[in-house]
Amino acid sequence: MLGNFSYFNPTKIYFGEDSLQYLKEELPKYGARVQLVYGGGSIKKNGLYDQVVEILKENGKEIFEDAGVMPNPTVEKLYEGCRIARENQVDLILAVGGGSVCDYSKAVSVSAYCDEDPWDKYYLRMEDVDNAIIPVGCILTMVGTGSEMNGGAVITNHEQKLKIGHVFGDNVFPKFSILNPVLTYTLPKYQMVAGFYDIMNHITEQYFSGEDDNTSDYIMEGLLRSLIHSSRIAVENPMDYEARSNIMWIATWALNTLVAKGKSTDWMVHMLGQSVGAYTDATHGMTLSAVSMAYYRYIMPYGLGKFKKFAMNVWGVNADGKTDEEIALEGLSRMEGYMKEMGLVMNIRDLGVQEDMIEGIAKGTFIMEGGYKVLNREEIVKILKDSL
Does the pLDDT value for residue 212 go beyond 80? Answer: no
Model confidence over 61-75: pLDDT tens digits? 999 999 999 999 999
Instruction: Give the pLDDT confidence score for residue 5 in this predicted structure.
Output: 85
Task: State the Cα–Cα distance between residues 248 and 56, nearest whole angstrom.
Answer: 25
Residue 140: strand pairing partners:
97, 179
Report the SS3 class of residue 343: coil
Instruction: Give the pLDDT confidence score for residue 28 in this predicted structure.
Output: 97
pLDDT, mean of residues 88-104: 97
CA distances to 31, 52, 60, 87, 174 from 56, rounded to whole Å, are: 12, 6, 6, 20, 18
Instruction: Give the pLDDT confidence score for residue 230 in this predicted structure.
Output: 98
Task: State the Cα–Cα distance between residues 272 and 256, nearest whole angstrom.
Answer: 22
**pLDDT-based confidence at residue 218 (cuts at 50, 70, 90):** very high
Model confidence over 342-353: pLDDT tens digits? 999 999 999 999
Q: How many CA atoms lie within 13 A of 386 on its CB side?
A: 15
Mean pLDDT of the chain: 96
CA distances to 90, 176, 182, 226, 311 from 233, rounded to whole Å, are: 42, 29, 15, 11, 22
Instruction: Give the pLDDT confidence score for residue 1 in this predicted structure.
Output: 62
Report the SS3 class of residue 137: strand
Instruction: Give the pLDDT confidence score for residue 6 in this predicted structure.
Output: 87
Instruction: Give the pLDDT confidence score for residue 87 in this predicted structure.
Output: 98
pLDDT, mean of residues 161-173: 96
**pLDDT-based confidence at residue 2 (cuts at 50, 70, 90):** low
pLDDT, mean of residues 3-31: 94
**Could you say which architecture CATH assigns to the domain 189-386?**
Up-down Bundle (1.20)
**Could you say which architecture CATH assigns to the domain 12-183?**
3-Layer(aba) Sandwich (3.40)
Model confidence over 149-165: pLDDT tens digits? 999 999 999 999 999 99
Percent of the chain with pLDDT over 90: 95
Domain locations in the chain as residue ranges: 12-183, 189-386
Percent of the chain with pLDDT over 70: 99
Does the pLDDT value for residue 147 go beyond 70? Answer: yes
Task: State the Cα–Cα distance between residues 140 and 146, nearest whole angstrom.
Answer: 10
Instruction: Give the pLDDT confidence score for residue 190 in this predicted structure.
Output: 97
Instruction: Give the pLDDT confidence score for residue 41 in this predicted structure.
Output: 82
Model confidence over 191-204: pLDDT tens digits? 999 999 999 999 99
Does the pLDDT value for residue 295 go beyond 90? Answer: yes
Instruction: Give the pLDDT confidence score for residue 4 in this predicted structure.
Output: 81
